[in-house]
Amino acid sequence: RIEHPQAVIDRIQYGADAGRGLEPARYRFVHHTHDGRAVYTFCMCPGGEVVASGSAAGQGVVNGMSPRRRATGFANSGVVVGVVPADLPGGGVLAGMHFQEGLERLAFRLGGSDYRAPVQTVAAFLGRANPPIPAASYRPGVAGARLTTLLPRPLTSALRQGLDRFGRIAPTFLDPPALLYGVESRTSCPLTMVRRPDRQSASHLGLYPIGEGAGYAGGIISSAADGIESALALLGSAP
């Protein structure tokens, strides 16, 4: 996840009109790398904060949210790099899940093993400069780390290419105090629980896998819609 002072984003988007009562600005970037990988911003949170999103001990996981007033003074966004099966060490149907768990354990350690988030300035991640770690919204605290050691090399390389492209569109996007956090690892589910057409588990009849964790949705609305459709199927009144 990447974070800036909201004023930086407002200046990029509004230019000379920044600060004149306009709402905190948003952005969206996308890039396709030479080897066909997508790098894109996701879940941009104007006036928001980066929040802890682990679900068990020893996991270093971040996400973002905007409180209603959008007045934290920070803007953050996920920066997603597509993962393909060849990126996964080992095989088996749970390889993606194990890969995700490994990243989260490593992020926890890089953050000092005390629930701070590991961070690195974008300038340092790109090898351009080594500015000090700036103020950050993450309330448990942040710890300077080499995020270049967090992701496998092909993902780091894709992320660098994507950021470089974003910086060509909006040069100050990469300048200090732009800050990267590790690791936003739960943008989509690394596996799918196979369902029958009547939405029961193919292997465990009577169980209805639904929503994001089952691999059928991403986000609030699609998860809710998937749950409603399965409930209707369970009630025997699916259209």
Quick check: bond before 83 cis, omega within 30? no
Whose Cβ is closer to ligand FAD: residue 64's or residue 167's?
A: 64
Shortest distance (Å) from residue 3 CB to ligand FAD? 14
Q: DSSP assignment, residue 210? A: -
First CA to last CA distance, the chain: 40
Query: Do the Cβ atoms of 195 and 210 come closer than 8 Å?
Result: no
Scanning 132-140, 143-151, 156-164, 208-216 for contacts with ligand FAD by CB under 6 A, the matching segment is 208-216
Question: Least separation, in Å, of the C-beta of 169 and ligand FAD?
Answer: 24
Provide the b/e sequence for 198-233 (b: ≥16 CB within 10 Å): ebbeeeeeeebbbbbebbbbeeeeebeebbeebeeb
* One of 18, 26, 27, 53 touching ligand FAD (CB under 6 A): 53
Kindly tell me which of 174 and 217 has the beta carbon lying closer to ligand FAD.
Answer: 217
Rule CB under 6 A: choose which of 135, 219, 232, 238 binds ligand FAD.
Answer: 219
CB of 25 to ligand FAD, least distance (A): 17
Asked whether position 211 contacts ligand FAD by CB under 6 A, the answer is: yes
Q: Is 65 in the site for ligand FAD (CB under 6 A)?
A: yes
CB of 90 to ligand FAD, least distance (A): 25
103 phi/psi in degrees, rounded to 5: -60, -40
DSSP state of 219: S
In the complex with ligand FAD, which residue's Cβ is closer, 107 or 158?
A: 107
Q: Which one of 220, 228, 232, 238 is in contact with ligand FAD (CB under 6 A)?
A: 220
CA dist 173 and 122 (Å) reads: 9
Number of residues located near ligand FAD, criterion CB under 6 A: 13
Q: Which listed range, 93-101, 118-126, 158-166, 218-226, lies at the site for ligand FAD (CB under 6 A)? A: 218-226
Burial class of residue 171 in the structure, from the number of CB atoms within 10 Å of its CB (0-12 exposed, 13-18 middle, 19+ buried): exposed
Contact 209, 234 (CB under 8 A): no
How far apart are alpha carbons 150 and 103 in whole angstroms?
Answer: 7
Report the nearest approach of ligand FAD to the CB of residue 97 (Å). Answer: 15
Sole binder of ligand FAD in the list 8, 25, 39, 51 (CB under 6 A): 51
Q: Which residues bind ligand FAD (CB under 6 A)?
A: 43, 51, 53, 63, 65, 211-213, 217, 219-221, 223
